[in-house]
């Protein structure tokens, strides 16, 4: 069975689970998951975890994401993107200038920005997804959530369509997990009292993978036919590169392989987390219990 991470390029028109289902067929294995859902109309980096790689999904998601896209001012939709029905239109008689745009974008850069997720989203309220309430035409209070915005900037000059009286702004945003970029677009418009929509989006980085490192479903299919995954599957260590690594002695490995604890004095460490390796193979991720000065198992990987 394959273990590791594939940086998939998700094409538009597919759900993230469509990709997982397709890969289960190509790779003939069930233990596959993704880290960070992409909407069907969004393309870009979708890290796929295989086998033991499914144990590092959380660490991939915590690494942050980068998106490039566009915001169009002058109308809004039910879904906050171009997939929904138009619910409001307002002619933009005069386009925003760069100073106005840049100042507004910068106001979103916060370690804890409050967002209200779109009604067409997978967030659960009382056991049901928000999009289920939306499809049934039911009103429901959407919970606030805190997200992290590292930066939000223009990537090229905006375009004003004088005929439609709409303006399109091109952006790049670096953000933490759980951020709805659709909502950033809508909230940007609200700063000027103008309806807005996310009109294009590509994820260019996720799980420490840049878009130029991604592979397509066709390339994975070809690798499977040739039984050569050397240039496609990355080690689970890719998700753990920010943690300190410790190579175990034979004596320590005997303790770890059974899920035993390690004294901080024995391994002379006091980091919050340690990646433990033995004979160049990642075996476990341990966390530091400061109350007892010992390391305990957080995740166990290949302990055979």
197 and 211 part of one domain? no
Number of H helices, E strands in the chain: 8, 19
Q: In 192-293, which ranges are E strands?
A: 196-206, 209-210, 244-247, 262-263, 273-278, 281-289
Concerning whether 39 is annotated as a catalytic residue, the answer is yes
195 and 212 part of one domain? no
The CATH number linked to 261 is 2.30.130
pLDDT of residue 302: 77
89 and 112 part of one domain? yes
pLDDT of residue 144: 83
pLDDT of residue 99: 97
100 and 130 part of one domain? yes
Q: What is the pTM of this model?
A: 0.90
The CATH number linked to 225 is 3.30.2350.10
78 and 200 part of one domain? yes
Range of the domain at 257: 243-300
The single residue of 18, 39, 43, 212 carrying the catalytic annotation is: 39
> In the chain, how many domains are there?
3
Last residue of a domain, one of 183, 205, 227: 205
26 and 133 part of one domain? no
Sign, CA torsion 81/85/89/94: positive
Nearest in space to 71 (alpha carbons), one of 175, 162, 195: 195
Last residue of a domain, one of 237, 259, 282: 237
| CA gap 8, 3 in Å, rounded | 15
| CA gap 33, 12 in Å, rounded | 19
pLDDT in tens, the chain (304 residues): 788 999 999 999 999 999 999 999 999 999 999 988 898 999 999 999 999 899 998 888 888 899 999 999 999 999 999 998 999 999 999 999 999 999 999 999 999 999 987 776 666 777 777 777 767 777 777 778 899 999 999 999 999 999 999 999 999 999 998 899 999 999 999 999 999 999 999 999 998 999 999 999 999 999 999 999 989 999 999 999 889 999 999 999 999 999 999 988 777 777 899 999 999 899 999 999 988 889 999 999 877 6
212 and 269 part of one domain? no
75 and 187 part of one domain? yes
């Amino acid at each position: 069975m394959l273990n590791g991470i594939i940086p998939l390029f998700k094409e538009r028109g597919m759900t993230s689970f469509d990709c997982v289902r397709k890969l289960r067929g190509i790779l003939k294995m069930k233990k596959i998951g993704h880290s960070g859902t992409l909407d069907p109309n969004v393309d870009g980096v979708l890290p796929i975890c295989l086998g033991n790689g499914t144990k590092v999904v959380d660490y991939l998601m915590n690494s942050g994401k980068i998106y490039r896209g566009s915001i169009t001012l002058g109308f809004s939709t039910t879904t906050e993107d171009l997939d929904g029905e138009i619910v409001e239109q307002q002619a933009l008689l005069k386009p925003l200038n760069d100073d106005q745009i840049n100042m507004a974008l910068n106001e979103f850069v916060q370690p804890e920005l409050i967002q209200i997720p779109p009604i067409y989203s997978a967030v659960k309220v009382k056991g049901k997804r928000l999009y289920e309430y939306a499809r049934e035409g039911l009103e429901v209070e959407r919970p606030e959530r805190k997200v992290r915005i590292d930066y939000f900037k223009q990537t090229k000059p905006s375009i004003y369509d004088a005929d439609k009286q709409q303006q399109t702004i091109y952006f790049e945003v670096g953000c933490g997990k759980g951020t709805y970029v659709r909502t950033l677009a809508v909230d940007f418009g609200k700063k000027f009292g103008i309806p807005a929509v996310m009109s294009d989006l590509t994820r260019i980085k996720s799980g420490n993978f840049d878009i130029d490192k991604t592979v397509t479903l066709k390339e994975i299919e070809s690798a499977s036919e040739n039984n050569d995954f050397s240039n496609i599957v990355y080690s689970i260590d890719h998700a753990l590169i920010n943690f300190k690594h410790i190579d175990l002695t034979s004596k320590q490995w005997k303790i770890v392989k059974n899920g035993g604890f390690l004294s901080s004095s024995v391994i002379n460490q006091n980091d919050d987390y340690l990646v433990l390796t033995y004979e160049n193979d990642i075996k476990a991720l341990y966390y530091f219990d400061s109350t007892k000065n010992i390391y305990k198992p957080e995740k166990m990987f290949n302990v055979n």
